[in-house]
Copies of this chain bind each other. A is one copy, B any other.
Amino acid sequence: MGLERVVADTPFARPDFDRAARQGAGEVIYGEGKTAEQIAAIARALIEGGQPRVLATRVEAEKAAAVDVCWAAEGDGPASSLAAALRQRMAVTYYEQARLLVFGDMPAPDGDGVLCVAAAGTSDLPVAEEAALAAQFLGNEVVRLYDVGVAGIHRLLDCADELNRARCVIAVAGMEGALASVVGGLVSCPVIAVPTSVGYGASFGGVTALLAMLNSCASGVSVVNIDNGFGAAFQASAINHLNTRGATAGR
């Protein structure tokens, strides 16, 4: 009597448990398009599968709170005592600006050197922080250089030392994305450029910055997707752990 409503009950995920072995870092949960229940369930599965900590990206504040409720509910019930045990020894931290949700603690840095995250403007900080915090999650020490856009070039030039000490620089910029080119010309380490969707009109949600970065006149710049701070951090971390591959501490 009334509409029969069928909620999907298909098994929705096949966690990739040996990714840590294969890729040097455990699986990360891409939070967009997943429900709070799905995020909590995948996180639990990964932790039960042996990952010491789990990162979920692109989690809005409201969903983060809902994930926490799911997580706590499981932890309290007797039915799943392992999850309860996990819940007790493991904090869940939400980094609001970066929209990151971390199950467990941040590890101590174990990379070969230091990563540098440079961001052009104040509006680019959410993406820059996604990169910086994800890099920390992956076991890297991070130096932040913020508000160093090229319209006031001296602000960037003043940071030459920090830039040159890095094993890899992540350059985060929206609008015309010129930061990547200027940084690329200043350093010898690899530069990973992250275009952001900051801007309006003909910035086309970050496409202009993306295209500009792909066409950088400086060699040694590669690019990730718009607003993909995590992706840049992942690759920078891979670069920063080339000498410690095989070692698994901190991950």
Contact = CB atoms under 8 A, between A and B. Distances in A.
A219 B73 CA distance: 31
A238 interface: yes
A189 interface: yes
A23 B122 contact: no
Contact of A8 (B1, B125, B175, B230): B125
A192 B149 contact: no
How often does this chain occur in the complex, in copies? 8
Given A147-B13, A181-B178, A198 B238 contact: no
Nearest to A34: B122
A167 interface: yes
Interface stretch (A14-22, A46-54, A77-85): A14-22
A144 B10 CA distance: 9
A225 B214 CA distance: 5
Nearest to A187: B23
A218 interface: yes
Nearest to A224: B222
Given A4-B94, A215-B176, A235-B190, A123 B30 contact: yes
Contact of A14 (B65, B148, B187, B203): B148
Contacts of A121: 30, 217
A198 B23 CA distance: 24
Interface in A36-57: 38, 42
A189 to B, nearest CB: 6
A119 B184 CA distance: 19
B225 A6 contact: no
Given A4-B93, A122-B33, A178-B150, A214 B190 contact: no
Contacts of A67: 3
Interface in A114-143: 120-123, 125, 129
Contacts of A235: 190-191, 219-222
Interface of A: 1-8, 10-14, 16, 19, 22-25, 28, 30, 32-34, 38, 42, 58, 61, 64-65, 67-68, 72, 91-98, 112-113, 120-123, 125, 129, 144, 146-153, 155, 157, 167, 175-178, 180-182, 184-192, 195, 197-228, 230-232, 234-235, 238-239, 242-243, 245
